Structure 1
Amino acid sequence: MNSNVEQVLRTVNHAFDQLVNSTVVARALNETFSPDDFLLYRNLRKEISNTQSYFTKVEDIVIVNIEQNWMIKNSGYYKFNTYLHHTQIANQMLLPNTISWSLNPSIWFYSEEKANAYECPYVISLVKKLPDQKLDKFGLAFANLPTCSIGSILNYTPAESETVIIMDDQERILFHTDPSMIGKYAISTGFISDSHVFSQPVGQFETELGGKKYTATYLRSSLNNWIYLSIISIDSLTQDSKKIGRYLFFFCLIIIAVFLVIAWLGSRQMYNPIQSLLKQIGGSPPSSVKPGMNEFEIISNQVQNLFQSKSQLEQEASRHLQQSSTFFLMNMFQKDIRRNELTEKMELFGFSEKLAQWQVMSVIALQIDTLEGTRYSKDDLELLLFAINNIVEEIIPSEVRLPPVSIEHTQITLIGGVNSEAQPEYNGFIYSTTESIQSAIKRVLDLQVSIGISLPFHDIKKASAAYHEGLEALKHRIYLGEHVIIPYANINAGKQKLLAEYPSLAETELFDAILIADEEKSRELLKAFMQLIFKQEMNPQEYQVSIFRFLNSLMVSMQQSGISLNQLHSGGGSLYEELNALQITHEIEEWFWSRVITPLIRIFRDRQNSQYHNISEKIMDMIHKYYDTDLTIEKCATEMHYNANYLSGVFRKETSVTFSEYLSSYRLNMAKKWLMETDITIKEISEKLQYINSQNFIRSFRKQEGVTPGQFRESHRK
């Protein structure tokens, strides 16, 4: 249940991230948006409808711009302050996190178009504060999933006496076998009297309701801290187990009785042939058998002595022949062997008869996607490839393949077909075979593998080229992902791909976050940067250009900051060689984070502890001197020769307030001082403090102090 729900939640979150970070949403938030902007409204509705799908069960996408006073959802465009429940929706800005899962009443979003006849009284809202990439938030976005749809997402039918509950991190019920309980707290169910029973990530406990005992099993999600709970009566469990136990006992008694009769009858029929066989191979009669030995042991000894030499010779010859065959196949795939030698070896190892029948051939190259997150380690790789070889041999009939071999962590198999004219049938056979191999490896070894398929060829001498085609096809996992089957014929088939523009702006933002040692923001920006790199389908070589450019930029930034390579990378080996060996997108991202960016953040954090205080004091000194000018963080950055984003982050980290908040507070204190000690008019004060007009100054002063400037001056003079 947890996996089914979280798969949908992750899908919703991913699609929602793409929506709120799209250019259309950014334009709608940052520009003046009115009901007359039909083109922008149409594009925005199109982006919203693309985010909704039957699989995710998202019923509505709601976008609110509090600053510009508008709201958009499925039913249209609204003035936000005229919407019935705008206060409750606006209060979602008070949520502690930028992104949150929240249980909200359906009436907040659908009161006007459904006339209070809701299918579900509650919705589960994915709430994001907008803009996503800015500190100052003035908008909200909601992705609403009806609580009624959770049952279909669970894809689970409870037992007759079982109660299934899903609760959020506040222990409010999001799903219950009884729909009337949705929205209530866990204590209302009667099963839970103390929330401390959920203190562990997973566990079981016993409870009682109406004099009946129940056992409860729960799991706390690591994604959003939701609790998945199953409660079932102990009586129903024990009743089924007792019935099964009785049936099993009588069934075992019957089996034992049948086997005893069969064994007795069989032993009588077996002894006479055994005695006859013992005489034929020259064994001693039963009267002269040594104590402790039986007829089977005597027969076994005689047979072993008779065939020992022959068996040893055959095993040795078979072992050497198999090793030689494997070595020859590895050379055939890796090198261009002369035709005469190729023909001789095929005849020697018994492959020539198959080749004579085959009119078309293909090479499939199989690689394990990753061992990360599995029960295996890198030390198990050779043993896993041996197991995969056995699986391939079982799935592919021996008459249509050569023996599989392993070359540099890649499993290679050559497959042949009889009829070269039936090309679609042959291609279908190759593809269905590779799908069967993938499924068997997943089922038996619990591993995900990818398979590259070469172009069909008719001459065995082209096996080496086909082998490299299979490897080249596997390189395209860098954008296709894991657990894929990649025919070489489909790579860039008829499509002209343009080299995507390098995301220099995203790279600069990431470097700024690394420079101020903001670990959380750096992780988010690295993920966003990688998404920009891999969002457009390109050749693997083109991806490598961008990836290595990024690594070069990191190295240059490191050298400019006076950081030696030994501080970042201890031990032998090359970072470029490590990066070149990676083929999966999430592995490349994780490598950059763990091998390069995390060590850089640690170094910059150590440096900044001694620099932040000095920088913050300089900024405060500039505010105290130039508060009566049009002072901004950008002007301070220019004066101090720093990046503005860097200065903003440092000042906030040291003072716990933003630059604009500190400047506004200081100006307010100066205004209060002038009101108490001087006769300067309110208009002159507002001009000195850079307000557009005196009315803005009066409103701001009253918001902070609760009284107007004139009332403040009069009260202090009295």
Structure 2
Amino acid sequence: MSKYLLRLLSFSLLLGVLPAVIIGIASYTIASENVESKVKEVNMQWLTQTQMRIEQMLRSVEKSATQFANSSLVKASMAMSYDITDFEAIRELTEGLYNLQSSDVVITQAYLVNLERSWALSLNTLKPLQEMENVGEFMDYAASPKSILWHAGTPATNGEEGEGTVETVTLVHKIPILPQTDRPQGLLVIRVMASDINEALNSPASTNYSYVLDRAGTAILGGGQPQTAYETVNRAVLEKLGANPEQPSGLFHTRMEGKEVAALYRTSAYNGWTYVSLLSIEALRAESRAIAEMTLAMCAAILLAVSAAALYGSRRMYRPIRKLLEMVTGIKRSAQEEPPRPGRDELEYIKTSIQSLVVSRDRVEQQMLGQASHLKEFFVLKLLTGQITENDYILRSAMEGFPEKWSHLGVLALQVDNLQDTRYNEEDRELLLYAVGNIAQEVLPASNRFPPITVQYSQVTIVAVQADTPEEAKAAFYTFAEAVKHHAGQVLQLKASIGISSPFADIRETVKAYGESLTALKARIRLGAEMIVHYGDIEPLPPADCYEYSHLRVLEERLVYAIREMQAASASEILRQYLSAMLFKEGAFHAHQPLLLQLASRVLQIAQDHGIPLSEVPGEEGKVEKLFHLQTREEIIHWFESRLIAPLIRILSEKTDTQYVKIADKLVKIIQEHYQEDISLESCAQLLSYHPVYVSRIFKREIGVTFSEYLSDYRMKMAKVLLETTDLKVSEIGERLQYKNISSFIRSYKKLYEITPGQYRDKMMRGSAE
């Protein structure tokens, strides 16, 4: 098979196969993950509904028990000492116990216990308390500090139903209901069948197993499976709840008996039970196999179709290449040249054959044109450096087509002012000067110019004019310079200045005129950018030792202060004032350089004072040596602002922001750990060894609110948690949160949540009962 045809076929196959494989893998992965995620979400919803159903059962029993315990009949019985002769009163109490039966669960036994009168009434009989077989259990219930509590019943003794399985669940209701008491008058004890609750735990999915843990992590409901196999899962659930008590539900993966399972759990705020559902990951992934098989079949079909299309299309696309190769091979054979070797790339062979025909014809012409251009530029360079005599010029001018007749000559030296705020970079400067040279060749007539050349940072053009006076020559030179500058700005969007030498007639004075044009350009430092300057228009400068440094010293100190205070706008304005005071003084440019170098050293000293490496401030592109090559006021301002001031302020700001964030984080941590204590901004500032005003400003800047506002909001949040999770009185919660006046606590809570603490607790209890 042809080499090019093989490449074409391979590329076509790769172009078609690779997307199919990627799409197949992505489709299977996404579909599998979606299936697993949906199943877990459905199971979590089922676990939530199961929790709500079970709690509804328990709440209905608790509601009936509360109504019975608060009835006048029970309250009166707590003051009576009954015996078997008081059958009328006993009958009424027994009927009340029977009426506790609910449609949701079956009550197996109920006891009304009078601890002060020492008697106990069950559904069956009235006995003295000490004759009850479970009198110890009653005493344990009475000693518990809670007024209402749910307790798992006695484990099964036969062991047939499974380890840890309970037969009943007991509700204990103290009489009267007093918070945190261990000496009640009596007890109302109700036992319900655990099997009714276990039925609610049965999952519709055969791969699930659900059960209930008490506060100690013991499985109390959901019998039917050996609980010892789930001890690892139970410990993991307790660890996660202990590590993050504010997160009452969650999901995690673990291994049980060598198999991977997903454990879903939810902790009830009602009685502290934890509902756990175990889901087999292997069963989940089995549901994704059908997706994998379908995806594999579709990918295989796509691959077959792509392969057939690639083979057919590659042959069709190769057909014109084959005809062109046959034509080129026939030409080579007629010229008695070597035919293509087997296995050689066809396109490379065709390209080489065509190039050999073109190159052989144009090679000599291209070489001659290139050498002629370089020779002209080399001649002008020697003319600018004084290496050409007048006789040499007369000889060469006729050969190279240089101007032959003139009355005045002049040198135009163009330099780029600055490249900031343009689309060009510093490394483009030489290429731009070359482009300006091409523009000069097009704008200036050939009879009035020598070939433009680039010398270091300048584009230099020697011009020749016929003029009666030097003033007319100067005007012509200015017209030429204006034309070059205008077209360079229009075509390249380039800011440039041009220095013009004095008119001269002797070709040997070209070296001097070149120096004059460069000297004229140096006036930009005082006159500004985008200038056309005649050397004769520059006024003689006095000696450079006439600077008065006192004013500059003041501006220098102000600039250093602005940088230290990270005031970028102020630093930029002071820098411009400094340059205005320095550059517009009478003096040569070389006298300004030491002052600029000293200013740069003062700025770098700030970095050293703050422990910042000097290499991080200017960077590779902003070395201080670059300062000696700056030619305009704009370039100096740009260099100082972009290479020194802006990086230094940014680094100082980053260091300051990091310190502020650490202080704010420490304050937040102190509030969250000590909100129940008497803390203040002053005590926290003293603990962190900072002034309170400084700490207050940082906290407001980083957190967005004041210290006292954050402390009050956090205490109100914790008050809401205590109202939801404890039986503490509103006054006790206020005292715990350091509110000496309960009215102040209630006002603060209502201001934040638009409801009083007591109203919120009543609303929460009504919602739970419903």
Q: Normalised by the size of structure 2, how large is the TM-score?
A: 0.36
Greater Rg over alpha carbons, structure: 2
Structure with greater contact order relative to length (CA < 8 Å, sep ≥ 6):
2
TM-score by length of 1: 0.38
